[in-house]
Structure 1
Amino acid sequence: MSRAPHYNALIRRGIDDRALYRRALSQVREPGLQALLGENLQTLDALIGDLQAHVHAAGRTPARHGTLAGAIRSVLADMAVGMAGNRDSAWVHYLARNECALLHVFEQQLARASDDSARVLRVQLSRLHGIHKDMHCLAGTTHG
């Protein structure tokens, strides 16, 4: 049985996160942080594109948009960052928390995946772990 429908949920969540990274990239000031967010955006683009290709190859329509929850998280991020004394730091902490949630969703899907789907998800999970480590290192936090 194809797991492509489950990929669409992951794609939507990835699109939500990518939108947050784009928003953060447009607002942070520190050049090193801008570079890191740009790299993480490229990683999310690749992750989303790969999953969309798998859905398409399974003869299904891949998700192209995020979720309502993602739009709400975006508004909350704007509010939280807008009230912060240090916007760069606020974005790092917000993205780090959000990254935990995305990683958790992927880990849950991997735990329930068939062998073929598990192989696909492990590649994507490896990418997410890199982003996760970057953000938590900057935030001075650990996976929650």
Structure 2
Amino acid sequence: MKNANQLKELVQVARDGAEFYEQAIGHVDDAPLRNLFAGMAAAKRELINGLSASIAASGEDVPQGGTLVGGLQKVYGQVRTALARNENRAWVGQLEDAEDRLLEHMRRAIRETDDPSVLGQLEAYLPRVRDCHERMRALKQRLAA
């Protein structure tokens, strides 16, 4: 049950991120940024699909929504970007925060799992999660300069 709950939480946090990227795509006017955001959303969907299959295989219900925190972050992101001088930079900053959150949850799940198969699955996804995080962090730093 503990492992299923960890996977469910990761699915919800990844869904928050995917939805946030999809929302951002409609608000930025820069084609390369839209393409990057689409790729990031796809990476989150891949994680969601893989973890959802494991949750379902264990007989548990797969969460269909995100988290309350993620929902609040999306609303805050909309307000913040609407007020920002540089809307693209504001979206990137908010999305980098979402990447931080997913990476933190992934690391915690890896530390806390007691199931070797769950650990193997999480470790298999970790490089992609780290890569997405690093790409957004680097973009945020580049846009801030």
TM-score (norm 2): 0.91
What percentage of residue pairs aligned between the two structures are identical? 25
Aligned to 1:46: 46
Aligned to 1:121: 122
- Equivalent runs, 1:72-87 vs 2, <5 Å: 72-87=72-87
Amino acid at match of 1:97: D
Task: Quote the Cα distance in structure 2 between the aligned partners of 1:79 and 1:37.
Answer: 19
Q: Which runs of 5+ in 2 are unaligned?
A: none
Q: CA deviation at 1:5?
A: 2.2
The count of residues paired between Structure 1 and Structure 2 equals 141
Q: CA deviation at 1:125?
A: 1.5
Moved beyond 2 Å, runs of 4+: none
1:132 counterpart = 2:133:
yes
Amino acid at match of 1:54: S
Aligned to 1:18: 18
Q: CA deviation at 1:85?
A: 0.8
Q: Which runs of 5+ in 1 are unaligned?
A: none
Three-state SS of the structure 1 residue aligned to 2:65 is: coil
Task: Quote the Cα distance in structure 2 between the aligned partners of 1:58 and 1:2.
Answer: 12
Task: Quote the Cα distance in structure 1 between the aligned partners of 2:136 and 2:91.
Answer: 10
Three-state SS of the structure 1 residue aligned to 2:26 is: helix
